[in-house]
Amino acid sequence: MPDFDDEAATTGLTAIRERPDLTVEFAKQLLTNPVTNASGTISLSSRKAVNLGQFGLLFTKTQGLKARLGNKGQRIWETPSGMLNAIGLPRLSLDDFIALEWPRWLELSQNLNVPVGISFAGESSVQFHDITRKLDRLEGVFALKANFGCPNVKEGLAFGQDPGLTYEAVKAIKEATDKPLVVKLTPNVTNIAEIALAAQEGGADALAAINTILAMDIDIEAGQPVLGNTTGGLSGPAIYPVGLRCVWQITDPKAGFKIPVIGIGGIDCWETAVKYFMAGATLVGIGTANFCDFETAGRVVAGIEDYCAKKGYKSVREIPRAKFPE
């Protein structure tokens, strides 16, 4: 028989056993890793290009009661270190999504062993409630995500920009479901902490921040905005400092925050993901980078694991919150 180095073998097995634990508890369930996607950047067709098994959690694009074609004209525009989009939430009607797409999402979830949540939006608290009642009946939904970051308008005010409307809508949603509710917040406000507290008080189980930043660009030859909708949402690496600031604000226990946060905005590498954990995030969401590099999620997960190993952390949950001044 060939020589067998017991010490080397034991050392190797120990190294395997001692790789950092990347599992995280979210919505009372254990995820294999803390990386998810920003809604709208992954679809059923993405599985042809992206290894969706890289993610610990997936979310569908934002659904709504009625079908939408989306905005006319130019919808996407590249900017320095970022991207403008004014897609306009194109989608099937909710009934068609439930009948045609959700069974395929459920099959995908079961095949990959990756849970899937549904993102949705409404035009009033009543509509949020009605949509939730329909989604609540579906099998296999990990969580619901209420998108308060897109222009949902009631009496001229965006839901995500008014704490009273935020509280009202979240309360209406929670009255219609026992499923975990994530509320996605817009950064286009004066005080995001005020909105986040209203969502928490309304019954939100978690928060997601941030959505895109309202922005625009101009074609100097044509003398007009580059986007057909004039304005759009800025995403990509340029916005991560804003995302970090917002996550830090809405995870401060001294301000009364008690629920977990998904940190989203400009994450295209593991270093930025770690910064979000240090700002207070429990999970991180990858958005625009999914369009640029189909393996971004896998690289981020591997980088987080290596970072934890280098720092001597046995678990990703041991990454400490940054030391912020009092």
Give exposure, 142-174, as e/b (b: 16+ Cβ within 10 Å).
bbbbbbbbbebebeeebbbbbbebbbbbbbbbb
pLDDT band at 17 (very low <50, low <70, confident <90, very high): low
Average pLDDT, the chain: 92
Residue 117 assigned ligand-binding role: no
43 among annotated binding-site residues: no
Q: How much is the pLDDT for 50? A: 85
State yes or no: pLDDT of 165 exceeds 70: yes
Predicted confidence at residue 16, as pLDDT, reads 52
* pLDDT tier for residue 155 given thresholds of 50, 70 and 90: very low
Report whether 154 belongs to an annotated binding site: no
Determine the Cα–Cα distance for residues 302 and 296; give it in Å rounded to an integer. Answer: 10
According to DSSP, the residues that pair with 286 across neighbouring strands are 37
Q: Residue 86: is its pLDDT beyond 80?
A: yes
Q: Answer yes or no: is 272 a known binding residue.
A: no
- Tens of pLDDT, residue by residue over 38-80, are 999 999 988 878 899 999 999 999 999 999 998 899 999 999 9
Taking CB atoms within 8 Å and a gap of at least 24, the contacts of 72-79 are 72/228, 73/227, 73/228, 73/229, 74/226, 74/227, 74/228, 75/227, 75/228, 75/229, 75/232, 77/217, 77/226, 77/227, 77/232, 79/215, 79/217, 79/234, 79/236, 79/238
What does the pLDDT look like over 172-223, one tens digit per residue?
A: 999 999 999 999 999 999 999 999 999 999 999 999 999 999 999 999 999 9
Q: Which of 150, 246, 269, 308 is catalytic?
A: 150
> Is 173 annotated among the ligand-binding residues?
no
CA 203, 248, 41, 234 dihedral sign is: positive
pTM as predicted = 0.93
Does 86 count as an annotated binding residue?
yes
pLDDT single digits (tens) 247-263: 999 999 999 999 999 99
Residue 33: the pLDDT is: 99
What are the extents of the domains in the chain? 29-71+88-217+235-318
Query: Check: CATH 3.40.50.720 for 29-71+88-217+235-318?
Result: no
- 116 vs 108: CA distance, rounded Å: 9
User: Using one digit for the tens of pLDDT, what is the confidence trace for 103-138?
Assistant: 999 999 999 999 999 999 998 999 999 999 999 999
Confidence of residue 149 (pLDDT cuts 50, 70, 90): confident
Report the alpha-carbon distance of residue 293 to residue 56 in Å, rounded: 18
Which comes out higher in pLDDT, residue 219 or 149?
Answer: 219
- For 36, the enclosing helix (H) or strand (E) is strand 35-37
**Is residue 150 flagged as an active site residue?**
yes
Is 171 annotated as contributing to ligand binding? Answer: no
210 is in an annotated binding site: yes
User: Which comes out higher in pLDDT, residue 153 or 284?
Assistant: 284
